[in-house]
Amino acid sequence: MLEIRNLTKRFGGVTAVDDISFRVAKGHIHAVIGPNGAGKTTLVNMISGVYRCDGGSVWLDGADITNIPTDRLVYRGVCRTFQNLEICGRMTVLENVLLGFDRYMNKSLLPTLFRSRQLLEEERRYTERAMHLLGLIGIEKYARQEARNLSYGILKKLEIVRALATSPELILLDEPVAGLNPKETSEVAELIRTVAADEVTVILIEHDMRMVMELSDRITVMHFGKKLAEGTPDEIRNDPKVIEAYLGGNK
């Protein structure tokens, strides 16, 4: 379903992502792990059209989607969350989710929504759907509150819900549980499982190894921009190269 072929990105003298290739089957959870600075976020930025690739290509369901900008990729069913939250603090939780539906709405600007009867009806439907998605992770009770007044944990969940509102085929999650407590972490893990069971393909960047090992179908390990290993959680757990990269420090 998703095929990454020889992706490469350079920043000046640094090759942040160096000839990375892998394939992900539909509805699978594919983790990309590696030490800080390994190139994981840069890889997500290329797949999601934030950075132009210096080499290689990205294929989704057989179509070449390399270097399509993020705002166009959403129409191809690709969306992502950010390592640093990108939530609109002055909007309510509900409004943030409604932004995610933007691709389906008649009017792209929310304030124009509330005019005709037809648009009111549309707003009602999307609000219902948004409340359903918020309910999946238990934050529907905050729907009418301004995002900036809420805790970090709630905003991390909100970011995933907003991404889901685009009805993606592929969702890229960059450290979705960083900074969350164990309870919030298991709630997000459960949501990711539900999403994948719904045939959405998931790319998961995460430092929480327990979560990665429990959730992933396959794992790609990056180290200094290169692919160090790829395999099932069991294969990765027992791979001497991986153990060395994590425990042996920088070489």
Q: Which two tokens stand for residue 23?
A: 């394939």
Spatial neighbors of 170 by CB under 8 A, at least 6 apart, are: 1, 2, 60, 77, 78, 79, 200, 201, 202, 203
- Only one of the segments 37-45, 62-70, 135-143, 238-246 lies at the binding site for ligand ATP (rule: CB under 6 A); that segment is 37-45
* Least distance CB 63 / Mg ion (angstroms): 27
Our finding on whether 11 is near ligand ATP (CB under 6 A) is yes
Residue 43 Cβ, how far from ligand ATP at the closest point, in Å? 7
Amino acid at site 50: V
Cβ closest to Mg ion, residue 207 vs residue 237: 207
- H or E element, residue 121: helix 117-136
* Cβ(91)–Cβ(147) below 8 Å: yes
> C-beta of 40: minimal distance to ligand ATP in Å?
3
Give residues with Cβ within 8 angstroms of 9, minimum separation 6.
15, 16, 17, 39, 42, 43, 45, 46, 51, 53, 54
**Interface segment toward ligand ATP; rule CB under 6 A; list 18-26, 38-46, 130-138, 191-199:** 38-46
- Give the distance, in angstroms, between the CA of residue 180 and the centroid of all CA atoms in the same chain: 16
CA distance 194 to 212: 15
Residues at the interface with Mg ion (CB under 5 A): 40-41, 83
Could you say which residues in the range 51-80 bind ligand ATP, by CB under 6 A? none
Q: Which of 18, 30, 31, 34 binds ligand ATP (CB under 6 A)?
A: 34
Q: Output 98 or 211, the one with its CB closest to ligand ATP.
A: 211
Q: How remote is the C-alpha of 17 from its chain's centroid?
A: 18
Q: Which is closer to ligand ATP, CB of 30 or CB of 94?
A: 30
> Of Mg ion, ligand ATP, none, which one does residue 36 interact with (CB within 5 to 8 Å by kind)?
ligand ATP
Which of these segments, 31-39, 61-69, 89-97, 155-163, binds ligand ATP (CB under 6 A)? 31-39
d(CA 245, CA 145): 44
3-class SS of residue 69: coil
Q: Which residues pair with 69 in a beta bridge?
A: none
**Closer residue to Mg ion (CB): 169 or 206:** 206
> How near is the Cβ of 64 to ligand ATP at its closest, in Å?
23
SS3 for 163? helix
Given candidates 28, 31, 39, 208, which one binds ligand ATP under the rule CB under 6 A? 39
**38 interacts with ligand ATP by CB under 6 A:** yes
The footprint of ligand ATP on residues 70-129 (CB under 6 A) is 83
CB atoms within 10 A of CB 179: 11
CB of 160: closest distance to ligand ATP in angstroms? 18
Question: For binding to ligand ATP (CB under 6 A), which residues are involved?
Answer: 11, 14, 16, 34, 36-42, 83
